[in-house]
Amino acid sequence: MSSEHEVAQKDHPSVEVTARDLRRNGSNGGGTPDPRDWLAALIKGSDDAIVSRNLDGIIQSWNGGATRLFGYSADEAIGKSIAILIPNDRLKEESMILARIECGTYAGRLETKRRRKDGSLVDISLTISVIRNDDGDVVGASMIARDITERLMALAQQRLFMGEMHHRVKNLFALATAIVSISARSSGSGTDVIDDIRARLSSLARAHDMTMADQSHHGWNRQISSLLTLIGRILDPYIAADGRVAIGGDDCDVGAKAIPYLSLLLHELATNAAKFGSLSAGSGRLDVSVATGGSLVRLTWRETGGPAPSTAGPEGFGSRLERSVTRALNTTIERDWRPTGLVATIAIPQAVLTA
């Protein structure tokens, strides 16, 4: 039996049952039940599977918990070999258990798999204790089995969650480092650098809050937000009661990988619109629409009513960011500098967007 699955004996003390134990004191009078009645009630009412077998591996007793766990009735199981519960790839495990039982050694507890009547496998925690006769000779063993499927699934989900969080935090740190580095090269004064970095990190923080809020309500789900919700969250500082900003079209899921990149890209477009584009003029307007079809999701960013766009000037953060987004999300970004304002089209493979 593999030691990595065993639990220390002091944590799970052996319960060696003898015939003398069952007879000791008999009935104490006064209506006190025989100790054997107490033991029988304990076994019968247990939610765990409690099974006894002799040294030949033949099942001697079988409680209701065993029927619920393994599917066999007591009549079907008693008198049969314990091998009916053991998968073929675990037969060596049973041989080692039997050897320790015959030596009178406490076999301990292990986490293993057993086979149900319908052939399916179940993960169990198995506790084994030796049974002795009046002379102290080992005559068999008792086994207590508990279904641990839900616990193992919870542990697997926890490992997945922690792995994903580790990956996401590393990505956020990488993006934050890039924001600081590129902003320092792209901005003018020290005050501009600080303001730009603060605004861009705030955009990332809003996106992160959205993903974690979904996690707390719905459990871990890689498709954690909708695209229209994400757009609304990023543009919220620019949306006023005058209806100059409109968001619409088809909605779709956005996965954890795409959210920070899209958040930064949308934030950059919105910042430029507020500084130089349609949102810098009282008559300006911004329309953002999403269209899904085939394998692509197309986001159209349309500015109207602002000053005539200008492409003059050195390359800035937005241009570098676009290249990063293009590489990370296999995205194409097209800009059309019309006299009425910028029209940008972002095409993202849907499989990448929802991954």
Same domain, 135 and 159: no
CB atoms near residue 114 (< 10 Å): 21
**Rounded CA separation 81/54 (Å):** 10
- Whether residues 339 and 258 fall in one domain: yes
Sheet containing 285-293: order of strands? 245-249, 285-293, 296-304, 341-349, 332-338
With beta carbons less than 8 A apart as the criterion, state whether 284 and 244 touch: yes
In this prediction, residue 298 carries a pLDDT of 96
| pLDDT score for 283 | 84
pLDDT at 285 (0 to 100): 92
Q: Would you state the pLDDT for residue 301?
A: 96
User: What pLDDT, on the 0 to 100 scale, is given for residue 197?
Assistant: 73
Domain identity same for 195 and 301: yes
Q: Rounded to whole angstroms, how far apart are CA atoms 234 and 348?
A: 18
**Is the pLDDT score of 5 beyond 50?**
no
Higher pLDDT, 271 or 149: 149
Q: Are residues 288 and 327 in the same domain?
A: yes
- Answer yes or no: are the C-beta atoms of 142 and 128 closer than 8 Å: yes
Confidence of residue 208 (pLDDT cuts 50, 70, 90): low
One domain for residues 122 and 200: no
Domain boundary among 128, 147, 166: 147
Provide the pLDDT for residue 221: 44
Are 93 and 192 within one domain? Answer: no
The CATH number of residue 327's host domain is: 3.30.565.10
Q: Which residue has the higher pLDDT, 20 or 119?
A: 119
Block residue for tokens 């197309």: 298
- 136 and 161 part of one domain: no
Distance, in Å, from the CA atom of 166 to the CA atom of 310, rounded to the nearest integer, reads: 41
Average pLDDT value for residue range 102-119: 85
The domain total for the chain is 2
Answer yes or no: do 96 and 165 share one domain: no
pLDDT at 215: 47
Structural domain harbouring 120: 3-147
Quick check: pTM over 0.75? Answer: no
Does residue 21 sit in the same domain as residue 52? yes
Mark whether 33 and 114 lie in a shared domain.
yes
Instruction: Give the number of other CB atoms < 10 A from CB of residue 208.
Output: 17
Instruction: Indicate whether 218 pLDDT > 60.
Output: no
Pair 252, 259: CB distance under 8 Å: no
| pLDDT of amino acid 290 | 96
Average pLDDT over the chain reads 78
Predicted pLDDT at 240: 65
Please name the residues in contact with 77: beta carbons below 8 A apart, sequence gap of 6 or more: 51, 59, 62, 66, 70, 84
251 plus 219 within the same structural domain: yes
Q: Which two tokens stand for residue 305?
A: 């009513």
Tens of pLDDT, residues 222-259: 445 789 988 988 887 777 657 889 999 999 998 877 88
Question: Which residues, at least 6 apart from 189, have a Cβ–Cβ distance to it below 8 Å?
Answer: none
| pLDDT value for 272 | 83
Measured CA to CA in angstroms, residue 322 lies from 118, 204, 290, 331, 345 at distances of: 56, 16, 19, 9, 12
Tokens of 60: 């001697």
Task: State the first-to-last Cα distance of the chain, in angstroms, to the nearest integer.
Answer: 41
- What's the confidence (pLDDT) of residue 172? 59
Q: Which of 147, 163, 183 is the last residue of a domain?
A: 147
**Which of 119, 147, 175 represents a domain boundary (last residue)?**
147
pLDDT of residue 220: 41
Q: Output 117 or 259, whichever has higher pLDDT.
A: 117
Give yes or no: residues 218 and 98 share one domain.
no
130-187 per-position pLDDT tens digit: 899 888 899 999 999 999 999 998 887 777 667 655 655 665 565 566 556 656 655 5
Instruction: Provide the pLDDT for residue 181.
Output: 60
